Structure 1
Amino acid sequence: MHFRTLAAVFVVATAAAAPAMAADEINWTGFFLGGHLGMLSSTTSFNDPNGPPIYGGSVTAGGALAGFQAGYNQRVAPQWVLGIEGEYSFLGGSGSNTCLQPSTTVTGSNCKVQPQELATLAGRVGFLTQPQGRTMLFGKAGVSWLRSSVSMNPATVSFLDPGYIAQGITFSDDPNQPAPTSGSIGAFGPTIGAGVEYAFSPRWSMKFEYDYHHFSGMSLVTPQVTDVSETGVVTNLGSGGSSAMTQNLHIAKVGLNYRFGGPAKDTPASLSSAAADEPPFVPGWEFDVGTRFWYSSGRYQNQNGSPNQLVSRLTYRDVIGQSGELFARADAPFGVFVKGFVGAGGLSKGKMYDEDWGLNSELGAVPTGFEVTESDLNGTLHYITGDIGYNVMRGRDHKVGVFVGYNRYETTMNAMGCDQLVATSSGVCSQPPIPPTTNGISQIDAWQSVRVGVSAEATIFDRLKIAGDFAWLPYVKYDGLDIHRVRNIFFPVQGYGKGVQAELILTYMATEKFGIGIGGRYWSMWSSYAYETSTPTNIFEVETDRYGVFLQASYKFMAPR
């Protein structure tokens, strides 16, 4: 009873305190309800109670999110809006990496992270621009809650083989294969964000937003540790207690809000005088064509052996891509649109890391719990995307549409030379030596994806347009070939999985038809199940991501007036 009374007093008081609003201005005051779609990138760091890692220690996971939001805005000054917003999102994503690896004699673990749910409660401060106040720049801060599925999977232990015994190495004990630990872990943490929201009618608005979340205070029981020295001394240790975790989450999303306030439809009183003088908007044929340059950084990773008994992992990290693109979009007067782009370029810089656990005598000169090598990279990338969709909302200054489509992404990466980073006595890079001019390993991959997503754009200022494209990939087909050229070994791999692709573009229309823009793009794909085609029992996990900035120039013709 007291809560309802206080709430009623608050609404009446804030309404009375609101500044007078001109008849041609957008009314931001009131409750709102909407939905959102976007992408996420998370980094989870693991603290090993047995010591700092010599390699790895953090997991990057890409993914998608979809959810809803609700809140209340109050205009407190001619250009200022205060509000509160609650959001809930379903998350889909996955990532894994080496963790709990304090030395070369210890068989560490493969840590896997899958973000699943996110809830946020935040206050917002908005600044209104344009004569009508249709565009609101806002910042937000508050508290959020995240739930993730986390597992720690000890790597394989396979030292006992005739080769080492023939060398006179006697193992003091049988190495145990430790069991994995896992859990569904929730945590609270702070969040901050910023974005722009554009009211394209008195009731409807779209927003483009970035949020950062930080979570700590999480932990998981550390798996059992097995230590095997180069001379064959085996020590099977119990759990080292708990491993603490921290998680950082970056999110970009597009949202659509319905505001419970203002007139139900556009009227002369709800539009500026300039807009009221224009004839009603009639959709027509509209075409956009252009070219882009995309500067990106990428990562690719595959690992074989079951998730609980990891044998080997290849990681291609910080791989720089420079590619050119052609793109086009056509909108029909009856709501249908088609769009797409095609691009190609080169890969350079970056490093390839080859990790092995529990090396047998065919690969290692001595028993080695863990070793990792490093190689330089070069290569190529090619990609093509095509979508068909329908504009559920379209006006002179905005479009909101849904689409389905197809994407194909191909890369070839060549690892040159071999440098032993740890466990030099294993002899991996010296039997035989691999000089920097020698292509030791090549990775050839093709990812084919079904795209389902939302495309939105709005003219937020005079001549300045913002657009977003967010696609969930419910089905991804993977075909890869891992070539170990020095050993003349081939690993053909097939699989299927999921992914997300997103981009955000800011365009300045220098003329009515010619525009220049800058944008950001993020792709992430991962396997749900993959295997070596020549040996189906050899299970793989594969994941890749690529992100970067692009510059573009576009030309619009046959646009409606």
Structure 2
Amino acid sequence: MKRWALAAVGLFALGAAAPADAADLPLYGKAPVVAPVLAFDWTGVYAGINGGGGLAHSCWSITAAGGVAIDPPVGEGCHNASGGTVGAQLGYRWQKGHWVLGAEAEGNWADFKGNNVSLIVPPINNRTKIDSFGLFTGQLGYTVNGLLFYGKTGAAVAHAKYDEFIPGVGVVSNNLTQTRWGYSAGFGVEYAFAENWSVGGEYDHLFLGHHGGDLASPSLLPPVRTEKFGQDVDIGLIRVSYRWGGPVVAKY
């Protein structure tokens, strides 16, 4: 009888201890929690700074001399006006799926300058300088998380100066200054390295066409020569931007 009583007490103690031990055992069969994948959303207003270099290819042709028209124009040769540039950009982007649409305004100071000896009136040198430019463009891009590839096109404007000089003597004509309008096309890649920050590289080509103007001697009238200037500009930039807008989105 005592043996049966001891056995019953032992079974009771074992049953009481079993639930407590079971609570400490890991649960099997439940799927592990999957960490979300963060996808960058490019939607929002952004602003930033940029810097780089450019090269303006400029060709001069004489269309009149001393008020007498020259037809066809006589070419004086071409030169590259190169140098550095810094500026700022402001824009807005909207993302739908992997596609990104945008609009942007960009304004830059520049120091693109160069010259060549005139093929018609040596030793006079024809000199070109671009001291600023602006772009007003639309964008279409494709993004994979924080990496954005885009193309852009729109209007371009540049402030250009032209003059003539003789090495060792100095300037022999008045400066001619023009604000030239044209159009631009380019492409770039941008990487979001933080929630609101991105860095990228961009190439732009400015088509400024042909424009005419008078180059006058400081002491002689009428204008000594009327010139036609043909000009295109290639620009490479590194850009850093800060964005206000849509947050980083968690996707499972």
> Considering the TM-score relative to the shorter chain, is it more than 0.5?
yes
Task: Calculate percent identity across the aligned residue pairs.
Answer: 24
Structure 2 residue aligned with 1:127, among 142, 145, 153? 142
TM-score (norm 2): 0.73
1:182 aligns with 2:154: no
Q: Which residue of the partner structure matches residue 88 of structure 1?
A: 107
1:59 equivalent to 2:79? Answer yes
* Match in the other structure for 2:203: 210
Q: Secondary structure at the match of 1:57?
A: strand
- Residue-by-residue CA offset, 1:337-375 (whole Å, 9 max, x unaligned): xxxxxxxxxxxxxxxxxxxxxxxxxxxxxxxxxxxxxxx
Equivalence for 2:129: 114
Superposed displacement of residue 41, structure 1: 0.8
Q: Distance in 1 between matches of 2:89 and 2:168?
A: 45
Return closer, same or farther for 1:107/1:252 CA change in 2, 3 Å cut-off. Answer: closer
2:39 aligned counterpart, secondary structure: coil
What is the CA-CA distance between 1:262 and the residue it aligns to?
3.6
Would you say the 8 A contact 1:92–1:115 is kept in 2?
yes
> Structure 2 CA distance, aligned partners of 1:205 and 1:107?
50
User: Matched residues in 2 for 1:182 and 1:199: separation?
Assistant: 45
CA RMSD of aligned residues (A): 2.9
Q: 2: CA distance between counterparts of 1:81 and 1:258? A: 17
Unpaired runs of at least 5, structure 2: 1-35, 64-69
Query: How much does 1:185 deviate?
Result: 1.5
Q: Which residue pairs with 1:24 in the alignment?
A: 38
> Do the aligned partners of 1:202 and 1:262 also contact (CA within 8 Å) in 2?
no
Match for residue 59 of structure 2 among 37, 45, 58: 45
Deviations 1:174-221 (A, max 9, x none): xxxx94131221110010000101111221111110000011343331
Q: Which residue of 2 aligns with 1:17?
A: none
8 Å contact 2:176–2:215 — kept in the other structure?
no
Judged with a 3 Å threshold, the aligned counterparts in structure 2 of structure 1 residues 222 and 108 are, in CA distance, closer, same or farther, namely farther
Shift of 1:25: 1.3
Query: Which structure is higher in RCO with an 8 Å CA cutoff and minimum separation 6?
Result: 2
CA contact (8 A) 2:163 2:215 kept: no
1:245 aligns with 2:194: no
Q: CA deviation at 1:240?
A: 5.5
Is the CA contact (8 Å cut-off) linking 2:48 and 2:240 kept in structure 1? yes
Residue 67 (structure 1) shift: 0.6
The TM-score with structure 1 as length reference comes to 0.34
1:520-539 equivalent positions in 2, closer than 5 A:
none
Partner secondary structure for residue 212 of structure 1: strand
- Which runs of 5 or more residues in structure 1 are unaligned? 1-21, 158-177, 225-235, 274-561
- Counting only pairs closer than 5 Å after superposition, residues 323-402 of structure 1 correspond to structure 2 as none
CA–CA distance in 2 between the matches of 1:62 and 1:116? 11
Residues 147 and 184 in structure 1, CA contact (< 8 A), matched pair in contact too: yes
Does the 8 Å contact 1:40/1:64 carry over to 2? yes
SS, match of residue 123 in structure 1: strand
Separation in structure 2 between the aligned mates of residue 144 and residue 71 of structure 1, nearest angstrom: 16
Alignment-derived partner of residue 25 in structure 2:
none
User: How far apart are the structure 2 equivalents of 1:203 and 1:237?
Assistant: 59
1:27–1:202 contact (8 Å) kept in structure 2 = no
Distance 1:107 1:198, change over 3 A: closer
In structure 1, C-alpha distance between the alignment counterparts of 2:136 and 2:221, rounded to whole Å: 44
Task: State how far apart, in whole Å, the 1-side matches of 2:128 and 2:239 are.
Answer: 26
Distance 1:179 1:62, change over 3 A: closer
